[in-house]
Amino acid sequence: MLVAFSVAPSGTGREDASVHDAVAAAVKIVRESGLPNSTDSMFTTIEGEWNEVFDVVRRATEAVGEYGSRVSLVLKADIRPGYEGEISGKVDRLERALDSSS
């Protein structure tokens, strides 16, 4: 399964409303998990089995909770049993489709 998620604290008390330290704490947990992952400006995507992926999301969310009085979690999952390597496979297929349409 692929899970794309975004987690951020609110009620941080920071004048600039920045959440980069909290997001860094979450991404550190994702990267240390050893699961395939990718982070962009909006989401972090991880790939793995149901229990391992959601354990990482839970721990990342808890880490972000240390930075504010509440946490917002947005999550989207692509559950496709029997498939692996989709974190890059989906993008590779898209690129080939774009190349062939040119």
CATH of the domain at 90: 3.30.70.930
Is the pLDDT at 71 greater than 80? The verdict is yes
pLDDT digits (tens, 9 = 90+) for 19-44: 889 999 999 999 999 999 999 999 99
Q: Give me the percent of the chain exceeding a pLDDT of 70.
A: 97
How many structural domains is the chain composed of?
1
| Whole-number Å distance between alpha carbons of 33 and 19 | 22
pTM equals 0.89
Range of the domain at 43: 2-100
Give the whole-angstrom CA distance, residue 48 versus residue 16. 35
Q: Is the pLDDT of residue 13 over 80?
A: no
Q: Give the DSSP H or E segment for 38.
A: strand 37-39
CA 44 – CA 56 distance, rounded (Å): 11
Quickly count: other Cβ atoms within 10 Å of residue 100's Cβ: 7
